[in-house]
Amino acid sequence: SQKIEQNSEALNIQEGKTATLTCNYTNYSPAYLQWYRQDPGRGPVFLLLIRENEKEKRKERLKVTFDTTLKQSLFHITASQPADSATYLCALEGTSGGYQKVTFGTGTKLQVIP
Amino acid sequence: NAGVMQNPRHLVRRRGQEARLRCSPMKGHSHVYWYRQLPEEGLKFMVYLQKENIIDESGMPKERFSAEFPKEGPSILRIQQVVRGDSAAYFCASSPPNPKNIQYFGAGTRLSVL
């Protein structure tokens, strides 16, 4: 069956360091993968999308990699700040019920310690 | 361009009452998704609608739950005869027809069943 795995344990990191979050998947052949941020009490917010033919995508302090051989995406936040503390969700597209369905992982909670 | 609007933000119902959750998608978006989220848990897909059509309701309980997205007006998620287990945050997201992969979320409706 299709599965998306994100580390369910919270990631605690010191301010200024690089945070790296992992998204692994099985039985998907996604054309693209997305990352979202969710703050407590709020809806997720789209951050980045990376296509299967792109190895890496950057946006300001964010970097996403996508390895379709390893079936893994890494999400990096460089020079992390306390304001980066949130839950980060990866989302994958897969064919389901005749349409391209986006499915979300359960998310990893990031805590940046001042 | 206003974002996805959900109302009410908080809804309190007694067991057996009906709950109606509304979602106005972003302007120009014709695809709407409803998700449910329990505290400290991931987003659980419920239903995907396009204008006047239900595309995928595989995540929605067969009984007591219904959803619609009429030609005019907001999308409605309706829960009849609510039970305590229905207490959760319900998020709506919308996406444009093309590309329809990035989802834009509302702030959610927090339903509490007494």
Per-residue pLDDT of chain B (114 residues; tens, 9 = 90+): 579 999 999 999 999 999 999 999 999 899 999 999 998 888 999 999 998 899 999 999 999 999 999 999 999 999 999 999 999 999 999 998 876 679 999 999 999 999
Output the 3-class SS for A57-111: EEECCEEEEEECCCCEEEEEECCCCHHHCEEEEEEEEEEECCEEEEEECCCEEEE
The minimal CB distance from A101 to the residues B41, B43, B56 is found for B56
Identify the pLDDT of residue A2. 81
What are B's interface residues with A at a Cβ cutoff of 8 A?
Answer: 4, 35, 41-43, 45, 48, 55-56, 58, 91, 93, 100-108
The verdict on a CB contact (< 8 Å) between A44 and B55 is no
Q: What b/e string do you get for B62-96 counting C-beta neighbours within 10 Å, with b at 16 or more?
A: eeebebbbeeeebbbbebeebeeebbbbbbbbbbb
Torsional class of B46: left (φ above 0), alpha (ψ -120 to 50), beta (otherwise): alpha
Please tell me the total number of residues recorded for chain A in this structure.
114
Percent with pLDDT over 70 in chain A: 98
- 3-state DSSP call for residue A11? strand
Q: Is residue A12 a contact partner of residue A82, using CB atoms and an 8 Å limit?
A: no
Residue type, B30: S
Q: Report, as an integer, the average pLDDT of A93-107.
A: 83
- Closest residue in A to B31 (Cα–Cα): A101
* Cβ proximity of B88 and B82 under 8 Å: no
**Contact between B42 and A104 using a beta-carbon 8 Å cutoff:** yes
User: Using the beta-carbon criterion (under 8 Å), do A32 and B101 form an inter-chain contact?
Assistant: yes
Q: Do A43 and B106 touch (CB under 8 A)?
A: yes
Left (φ > 0), alpha (ψ -120 to 50) or beta: where does A55 sit? Answer: alpha
Would the pLDDT of A86 be above 90?
yes
Torsion, Cα A34 A104 B99 A29, to 10 degrees, reads 80
Q: How far apart are alpha carbons A12 and B59 in whole angstroms?
A: 33
